[in-house]
C-alpha cells in the first residue's frame, strides 16, 4: 500500500512527455521545423510562434497534435518516439504545460 501511495504521489508531478528527450527534440526541431517556422515570421524568428502573442496551442494534447500535423506536412517520417522528443523539447522550453 505504501508503494501505491508513493506512485500516486509521483504521478501527480509527472513530467509531460516523459518518454521524450528534450535534447533530441531540439535537434529534430532544428533540422526539420525551424526553417519552415522562420519563413512564417517577418523577422525570421520562428520561435516567436511559441510565444503567447502568436500561440495557437493551448494545452498538452494540442501540442502533441500540432507536432504530428507539422511532421506530416514536412514528410519527416518521424516515429512516435521522435514526436515525443519534439513535444518534450517544445513544452520544456516554451509552453511549460503542467498537465
Per-residue pLDDT band for 51 (boundaries 50, 70, 90) equals: confident
72 φ, ψ to 5°? -65, -45
Nearest-angstrom CA–CA distance, 1 and 16: 26
Q: Is the pLDDT of residue 81 over 50?
A: yes
Query: Hey, where are the domains in the chain?
Result: 16-95
The CATH T-level fold of domain 16-95 is Cytochrome Bc1 Complex; Chain D, domain 2 (1.10.760)
Residue-wise pLDDT for 9-31, tens only, equals 344 446 899 999 999 999 999 99
Single pTM value for the model: 0.81
Inform me whether the pLDDT recorded for 60 exceeds 70.
yes
Cβ-contact 95, 63 below 8 angstroms: yes
Q: How does the average pLDDT of the chain come out, rounded? A: 87
Q: What is the mean pLDDT of residues 49-75?
A: 92
- pLDDT of the residue at 62: 96
Amino acid at each position: 500500500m505504501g508503494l501505491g501511495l508513493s506512485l500516486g504521489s509521483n504521478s501527480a508531478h509527472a513530467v509531460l512527455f516523459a518518454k521524450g528527450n528534450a535534447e533530441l527534440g531540439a535537434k529534430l526541431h532544428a533540422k526539420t521545423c525551424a526553417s519552415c517556422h522562420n519563413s512564417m515570421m517577418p523577422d525570421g524568428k520562428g520561435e516567436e510562434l511559441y510565444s503567447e502573442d502568436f500561440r495557437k496551442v493551448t494545452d498538452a494534447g494540442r501540442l502533441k497534435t500540432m507536432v504530428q500535423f507539422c511532421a506530416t506536412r514536412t514528410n519527416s517520417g518521424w516515429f512516435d518516439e521522435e514526436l515525443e522528443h519534439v513535444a518534450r523539447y517544445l513544452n520544456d522550453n516554451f509552453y511549460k504545460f503542467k498537465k
